[in-house]
Amino acid sequence: MTSSDINIRKDGRAGRITLNRPKALNALTYEMAMAIEETLDAWAQDDEISIVIIDATGDKAFCAGGDIQKLYEIGRAGDFAYGQRFWADEYRLNALIAEFPKPYVAFMQGFNMGGGVGISCHGSHRIVCDSTQISMPECGIGLVPDVGGSLLLARAPGRVGEYLALTTTRMGPGDAIFAGFADSYIPRDDWPALIATLCESGSPTAIQEAARTPPDGDLPDQRAKIDTLFAGDTLLDILNALRHDQGDFSSKALKSISRNSPLSMACAVEMIHRLRGPSADIRRALDLEYRYTFRAMEHGDFLEGVRAAVIDKDRSPNWQHDLESPPTMAAAQMLMPLKENSLTLDKKDATA
């Protein structure tokens, strides 16, 4: 299918998905996400398709996240069910990509944040270039790292996951590979020829041949400090360690953290800790994320966070809690099982 927002087609032995909202930084709408899901369901069974390639038009962004303005407008009017259905359907797509039976290749230039991470970084082959900037900025708008991002953060080396979640730091190509959000660095000029080869062969082997040594990032040198300062069991423990350290790195981290929702950050730390270890998988991560997002509009900071960042743009959110006494009990309540409202990934009508 082809629409103004997304171009889905077959090209040789490849299934091609191209996001096409460059003026909106290719932000992912609900309709785009559902079109991708419907397509992948069909391609998984299609013998003509040996490989899936997802990319995006424009230079600024692969995908700068989900289209949250509509979520805000409907939630502000008191309708929480729309958001709950949106997140459940989006998470079903994230699981489909993570478990997809064929090579799934993502070409990620420019900004790739939030919902964009969910449709790229769970793929089998994740390609970055010099302009790539990957981040999970959800704590800044009263959400938690979701779309399966909590699992990627839990699998990052040492305590890098906690650092990325709480500071919402952007990763260039080298750091994205180091943290496990990407696999291969390939200069952008080499992408067209590589895509042509992938379409012709239906095999991802050319990716390894095209890969180059990525530029140096910041995280490897910061790793020891991150592992020390972000090792606490709770958000308060991490804050105390940073405040006690008083170094430049800690001061910068605290400044970033101070902008974000204390409730979101407390939950993010707890989620990463629960998902760290061999038993965690994409379904467990999405289930945990959905416990938060299901409650985010009514009980969390999401509506206020979006108001401050996107609607009024005053950058002065009035969070429910403060960093002097991070909300341990409220965080626990946000992550309680949903029982009859639990996330169902296998049935389309389960969230209707």
- Active-site positions read 66, 115, 138, 146
SS3 278: coil
Instruction: Tell me which H or E stretch contains 267.
Output: helix 262-275
Asked if 135 and 61 count as a contact pair (C-beta separation under 8 A), the reply is no
In the chain, the amino acid numbered 160 is: V
Structural tokens at position 17: 């998905």
Q: In the 8-state DSSP scheme, what is residue 97?
A: H
- For 49, list phi and psi in degrees, rounded to 5: -100, 115
Asked if 37 and 92 count as a contact pair (C-beta separation under 8 A), the reply is yes
Sheet of 133-135: strand order equals 61-63, 111-113, 133-135
SS3 109: coil
Structural tokens at position 245: 């350290």
Q: How far apart are CA 183 and CA 304, in angstroms?
A: 36
Cβ neighbours, 10 Å, residue 283: 18
Query: How is 29-54 classified by DSSP, letter by letter?
Result: PHHHHHHHHHHHHHHTT-TT--EEEE
Asked if 120 and 19 count as a contact pair (C-beta separation under 8 A), the reply is no
10: β partners: 15
